[in-house]
Structure 1
Amino acid sequence: MRIARYTSAAGPERLGIVTVVSGREMLVDAVKAGGGRGGPATPTSVMQLIEGGAAAMDAIRELLAWAADRQDPLWLDNPDSVQWLTPVPEKSMFCAGRNFGRHKLESMKGSAANTSTLHSDFPTGFVKLGRTLVPHKSRVKRPDDVLSFDYEVEIALVLGKAIDARIEIDPASAIFGYTIFNDLSAREWQLREMQNGMLMLGKNFPGFGPIGPYILTADDVPDPTALVLWLKVNGELRQHSDCRDLIFGFPEMVAFWARFGLVPGDLISTGTPEGVALHHRPDPRAWYLKPGDRVEAGVDGIGVLETFIV
Structure 2
Amino acid sequence: MKIARYRSSAGPERLGIVTLASGREWLLDVAKASAARGGPDTPATMMGLIEGGAAAMDATYGLLDWAAQRQDPLWMDDPASVQWLTPVPEKSMFCAGRNFGRHLLESKQGDSANAGKLHSDFPTGFIKLGRTLVPHKSQVKRPADVHCLDYEVEIALVLGKALDAHSDIDPASAIFGYTIFNDLSAREWQLREMHNGLLMLGKNFPGFGPIGPYILTADEVPDPTALVLWLKVNGELRQHADCRDLIFGFAQLLAFWSRFGLVPGDLVSTGTPEGVALHHKPNPQAWYLKPGDRVEAGVQGIGVLETFIV
User: What is the TM-score with the length of structure 2 in the denominator?
Assistant: 0.98
The whole-number CA distance in structure 2 between the counterparts of 1:10 and 1:125 is: 37
Kindly provide the CA deviation profile for residues 135-184 of structure 1, in whole angstroms up to 9, marking residues without a partner as x: 00000000000110000000000000111001111000110000000000
The equivalent residue for 1:212 is: 212
Matched-pair contact (CA < 8 Å) for 2:110–2:279: no
The equivalent residue for 1:35 is: 35
The equivalent residue for 2:272 is: 272
Kindly provide the CA deviation profile for residues 264-289 of structure 1, in whole angstroms up to 9, marking residues without a partner as x: 00000000000000001111111000
Q: Does 1:287 align with 2:287?
A: yes
1:12 Cα deviation after fit: 1.6
Report 1:108-127 matches (<5 A): 108-109=108-109, 115=115, 118-127=118-127
The equivalent residue for 2:81 is: 81
The whole-number CA distance in structure 2 between the counterparts of 1:288 and 1:10 is: 35
1:10 Cα deviation after fit: 7.5
The whole-number CA distance in structure 1 between the counterparts of 2:300 and 2:258 is: 28
The equivalent residue for 1:146 is: 146
The whole-number CA distance in structure 1 between the counterparts of 2:16 and 2:206 is: 27
The whole-number CA distance in structure 2 between the counterparts of 1:92 and 1:65 is: 34
Matched-pair contact (CA < 8 Å) for 1:96–1:124: yes
Shift in alpha-carbon separation, 1:20–1:10, aligned structure 2, 3 A: farther
1:111 Cα deviation after fit: 5.5
The equivalent residue for 1:246 is: 246
User: What is the TM-score with the length of structure 1 in the denominator?
Assistant: 0.98
Amino acid at match of 1:288: Y
The equivalent residue for 2:226 is: 226
Matched-pair contact (CA < 8 Å) for 2:9–2:83: no
Structure 1 counterpart SS, 2:188 = helix
Amino acid at match of 2:137: K
Kindly provide the CA deviation profile for residues 225-282 of structure 1, in whole angstroms up to 9, marking residues without a partner as x: 0000000000000000000000000000000000000010000000000000000111
Structure 2 counterpart SS, 1:158 = strand
The whole-number CA distance in structure 1 between the counterparts of 2:112 and 2:177 is: 36
Q: Cα RMSD (Å) of the superposition?
A: 1.2
The equivalent residue for 1:236 is: 236
Structure 1 counterpart SS, 2:252 = helix
Shift in alpha-carbon separation, 1:111–1:249, aligned structure 2, 3 A: same
Structure 1 counterpart SS, 2:80 = coil
Q: Identify unmatched segments of 5+ residues in structure 2.
A: none
Amino acid at match of 1:243: C
The equivalent residue for 1:16 is: 16
The whole-number CA distance in structure 1 between the counterparts of 2:120 and 2:105 is: 14
User: Which stretches of structure 1, 4 residues or more, deviate above 6 A after TM superposition?
Assistant: none
Structure 2 counterpart SS, 1:70 = coil
Matched-pair contact (CA < 8 Å) for 2:134–2:209: yes
Matched-pair contact (CA < 8 Å) for 1:105–1:115: no
Amino acid at match of 2:86: T
The whole-number CA distance in structure 2 between the counterparts of 1:130 and 1:13 is: 18
Matched-pair contact (CA < 8 Å) for 1:182–1:297: yes
Kindly provide the CA deviation profile for residues 9-49 of structure 1, in whole angstroms up to 9, marking residues without a partner as x: 38320000000112211000000000010021100000000
Q: Does 1:99 align with 2:99?
A: yes
Shift in alpha-carbon separation, 1:9–1:113, aligned structure 2, 3 A: closer
The whole-number CA distance in structure 2 between the counterparts of 1:131 and 1:286 is: 29
Structure 1 counterpart SS, 2:295 = strand
Structure 2 counterpart SS, 1:12 = coil
Kindly provide the CA deviation profile for residues 184-206 of structure 1, in whole angstroms up to 9, marking residues without a partner as x: 00000000000000111000000
Structure 2 counterpart SS, 1:17 = strand
Number of equivalences: 310
Matched-pair contact (CA < 8 Å) for 1:155–1:179: yes
Identity over aligned pairs, percent: 82
The whole-number CA distance in structure 2 between the counterparts of 1:100 and 1:113 is: 20
